[in-house]
Structure 1
Amino acid sequence: MIETKTNLIELVGNRDFRLAKIGLNGLEANDAVRVLQEAPDREKIILFRLLSRARAKKVFKLLSHSDQLTIVGALGERPRKVANLLNDIEPDDRTTFLKNLPENVALPLIQLLSPEERKITNQLLSYPEDSVGRLMTPEFVAIKPTFSVETSFEYIRHYGRNSETLNVIFIVDGEGKMIDDIGIGELLLAAPGQRVQELMDHRFIALKAIDDQEIAVQLFKKYDRVALPVVSADGVLLGIVTVDDIMDVDEIESTEDFHKFGSIKSAIADPIRAKVFDLYKNRVVWLFLLVFMNVFSGAAMSTFEDVIQSFVPLVFFLPLLIDSGGNAGSQSATLMIRYLAVGGVQLGDWHKLVGKEFLVSFLLGVTMAIGVAAIASFRAPEIVAVVGLSMIVTVFIGSLIGLLLPFIFTRLRLDPATASAPLVTSLSDICGVVVYFSIASWFFGS
């Protein structure tokens, strides 16, 4: 594949466009995308222009948004080319491209669309930003329950050429309301004269256009579907969402959650091309806020100056103890955020999990206390009990913070991923310092 990429780029450099066109259009769409991704911008644009109209439609969908924008910008001098491209790509893919553009850039592109495609695009863009309506395509096949199997196939052959998928055929009544769906395999195995209504079981799963995209992700995972219908509040079938679009959403949501968990403001789509200042401002806000949170740790330590001066060996074990509490909290938070995201636990399950976490964190704390007490017995035997007891309590508190924060954020209708590792660690650090020196003060009577 590397040789193919190099050859095609060299052919363009040598202006041998005929051979480059033959070679590029002979590749699978995914391989053609890799060639364009590797090419410099000038060669990238030329290579895209060499694609056939049908292949360009498939390749454009798979490119990154920045590459799509580069290509559309380069084609801007040829409005007809841009119009053909935007009219050809699927409505949901076109919406995904346009929604990420500034309004002053998107509007002129929308005006290049045919009246029919412009109407579809404006309708999809009218739905809330992260709603299912932004993902759906109106290109599907729907049949009536009164159709015979034979008539259904004639209808599918006539109207199904542009459908996003034919794996599932949707059934609507005279008013266009969704009443069922049926797999194409079931139709194939049925007798030609059999009525569609005889094959219906009236069990189907549908999304609403205003549903959040995360709901769609969960339903696709739960029911293992290749496509789901999207209906209006009145049950009218508006469009469908396919699994490839949901996979893209799932990847984006997972990336956003990962960034939030690391206390990064937002995801950078292409970190290699991103500017240094963009990367800087993407991370600085949370780090700056967490610096001020950690001031409380220093303030807590300052209240125990007498204890520290009297028992200097206590300082040696301080980083070990507070890091252990923070690590335990991060573990708990990671597990809970994941369980909440995939639907493994619900908001009302928190009290059930707290009971288990009491036991688990206690066992973890005791195990780690034995290890740290063994170290303390060689370095400072007089504080073995303080270090051991502090380890148990610190791990215990850190684990509970990590468990409860995602539930609290969910209850407040905030993204639980915002209960991020640095936040959990900072809270655990403050608690760890207070616990450690409070136990030391109590133990030594200071």
Structure 2
Amino acid sequence: MQYVEGYENLVELVEADDQEGLKAALNAMPSADVAEYIDEHFEVYNTLTLLDLMEAEQQAEVFGYLRPAHQQEVASHMEISVLAKLFVDMSSDERADVYSLLDVKLQDALMRRLARSEREDLLRLSSYEEGTIGAVMTSDYATIPVGANVELALKKLRQSAPEKESIYQAYVIDGKHKLMGVVSLRQLLTAAPSEMIDDLMTRDVVTVSPDMPQSEAARIISRYDLIAIPAVTEDNLLVGMVTFDDAMDVVEEEDTETMHKSASVGSLDMSLTEAGPITLYKKRINWLVLLVFVNIFSGAAITYYEDTIMAYASLLFFLPLLIASGGNSGSQTATLVIRAIATGDIGRGDGVKLFAKEILVSGLLGLSMSAAVMAVAYFRAPDIMLVVGISMFAIVMIGSLTGLLLPFLLKLVGWDPATASTPLVTTIADAVGVMVYFITATIVLGLAIG
């Protein structure tokens, strides 16, 4: 992290109780950097000291950037009057996030300090389920009454701008707060003062529902290249707005969750540095134990075909190579399919086409890898060259098709396709691959089983 030249380390300034130096350093640093530094270096007491030295706007921004666990701890040590003032200065969506972290007693005390409009807004935003658009949207959007002219609209925006998260576009609403259209700041600045908003606004507005998954907002904002998107009810009442930066936060959160699942790790609600050993253990142990029992099938298959192995010990040399190839090809396919499902790239009618394409691709991969392993077998163990060639082709095909079908099967039963992770696909491909290899060897070499 880079700091403005001439300022000492914040830790040294805190230890020296240099309040003037701290104020100067804090003012010179972006709020996001201040929050990151506080998270890494300071406990509650020093965090409260630093927040107290900031102007109200910076204080609200820095507190909003702190890690949730740190926010919760700091808020619980604040005087209720200070916390209430901080809440008023925060953006509505961040305010709702912090409110959900507080215990019931502190929530009640805080509510008594807020104005009625702020209480109602806070309760409404915090009532939406986690993972929905309502949980990430803000109520700090700019509105213009239908029937106004440009002069009145600009006057209203100037008055409300300090309290709004974005004024690059304003939503046109009627007396019942129904969304009628949207107009950009550029349109307002280039139009004549007497021109009517009704003639300028775009009536066909892309909207989302607050009950939709939050990933949908990110996908729609990206698809239509939007700065923000309004959230409306079934009656078209405007209830919130999702901004581009909030959508990017959602994308980061979703990608992190997908990566955790792809490694068979339970979803973490905190950063890796915050998570304790027991938490990490609990998140990882379930899948690992399950996969151990799945791998028993591989061991059972090897035991069942021990006579085949004793007759041709060279079969063991190629076993890890063949099994790894099946797992790798399956993992590649699963990664591509899971990502395509997540981005909406795969439609309802694409299944047959995708299956046919994967048959062709995995067949070509199988032939190529079969040729490569047969070349190795020619010099190492020519008597089993045909066995390893046929097995490689079959194992790569099976692994690839497992990686293709498993995400769709999980989605069909209501599970997250990301659960079709690398360890799961690899374990299934391993178990099936061992059986395919030794069945092929037994048949081709004309050996009796058992």
Short-chain TM bin: over 0.9
Question: Cα offset for 1:309?
Answer: 1.8
Question: Cα offset for 1:145?
Answer: 3.2
What is the RMSD computed on CA atoms of the aligned residues? Answer: 1.9
Check if 1:153 corresponds to 2:187: no
Q: 1:175 to 1:83 in 2, by over 3 A?
A: closer
Check if 1:73 corresponds to 2:60: no
* Equivalent position amino acid for 2:145 in 1: K
Question: Cα offset for 1:82?
Answer: 1.4
Whole-Å Cα distance in 2 between the matches of residues 335 and 312 of structure 1? Answer: 37
The answer to whether the 8 Å contact 1:350/1:404 transfers is no
Residues 239-262 of structure 1, C-alpha deviation per residue, up to 9 Å, x if partnerless?
Answer: 211111111111111101100110
SS of the aligned residue for 2:148 comes to coil
The answer to whether the 8 Å contact 1:350/1:407 transfers is no
* Equivalent position amino acid for 1:210 in 2: D
Check if 1:163 corresponds to 2:164: yes
Question: Cα offset for 1:9?
Answer: 2.0
Check if 1:57 corresponds to 2:68: no
SS of the aligned residue for 1:192 comes to coil
Question: Cα offset for 1:71?
Answer: 2.2
The equivalent residue for 2:353 is 352
Check if 1:31 corresponds to 2:33: yes
Question: Cα offset for 1:67?
Answer: 2.4
Q: 1:409 to 1:316 in 2, by over 3 A?
A: same
Whole-Å Cα distance in 1 between the matches of residues 201 and 20 of structure 2? Answer: 53
The equivalent residue for 1:46 is 49
The answer to whether the 8 Å contact 1:13/1:43 transfers is no
The answer to whether the 8 Å contact 2:264/2:287 transfers is yes
The answer to whether the 8 Å contact 1:347/1:410 transfers is no
Question: Cα offset for 1:154?
Answer: 1.5
The equivalent residue for 2:19 is 17
| Structure-to-structure mapping, 1:279-290, within 5 angstroms | 279-290=280-291
The equivalent residue for 2:418 is 417
Which runs of 5 or more structure 2 residues have no equivalent in the other structure? none
| TM-score where L is the length of structure 1 | 0.94
Q: 1:201 to 1:81 in 2, by over 3 A?
A: closer
Which runs of 5 or more structure 1 residues have no equivalent in the other structure? none
Whole-Å Cα distance in 1 between the matches of residues 186 and 324 of structure 2? Answer: 57
| Structure-to-structure mapping, 1:153-302, within 5 angstroms | 153-267=154-268, 269-302=270-303
Residues 280-300 of structure 1, C-alpha deviation per residue, up to 9 Å, x if partnerless?
Answer: 111111000100011111122
The answer to whether the 8 Å contact 1:144/1:174 transfers is yes
The equivalent residue for 2:427 is 426
The answer to whether the 8 Å contact 1:145/1:195 transfers is no
Residues 206-263 of structure 1, C-alpha deviation per residue, up to 9 Å, x if partnerless?
Answer: 1111111111111111112111111111111112111111111111111011001100
Q: 1:303 to 1:57 in 2, by over 3 A?
A: same
Mean Cα displacement is larger for which, 331-340 or 346-355?
346-355
* Equivalent position amino acid for 2:296 in 1: V
Whole-Å Cα distance in 2 between the matches of residues 419 and 309 of structure 1? Answer: 36
Question: Cα offset for 1:6?
Answer: 4.5
The answer to whether the 8 Å contact 2:80/2:110 transfers is no
Whole-Å Cα distance in 2 between the matches of residues 258 and 371 of structure 1? Answer: 32
Question: Cα offset for 1:142?
Answer: 1.6
* Equivalent position amino acid for 1:123 in 2: R
Whole-Å Cα distance in 1 between the matches of residues 405 and 248 of structure 2? Answer: 29
The answer to whether the 8 Å contact 2:31/2:58 transfers is yes
The equivalent residue for 2:409 is 408
Aligned residues, how many?
Answer: 444
Whole-Å Cα distance in 2 between the matches of residues 144 and 283 of structure 1? Answer: 53
The equivalent residue for 2:444 is 443
Whole-Å Cα distance in 2 between the matches of residues 200 and 150 of structure 1? Answer: 15
| TM-score where L is the length of structure 2 | 0.94
Q: 1:416 to 1:5 in 2, by over 3 A?
A: farther
The answer to whether the 8 Å contact 2:7/2:25 transfers is no
Question: Cα offset for 1:177?
Answer: 1.2
Residues 166-206 of structure 1, C-alpha deviation per residue, up to 9 Å, x if partnerless?
Answer: 01111122322112112110111111111111123422101
Question: Cα offset for 1:301?
Answer: 2.2
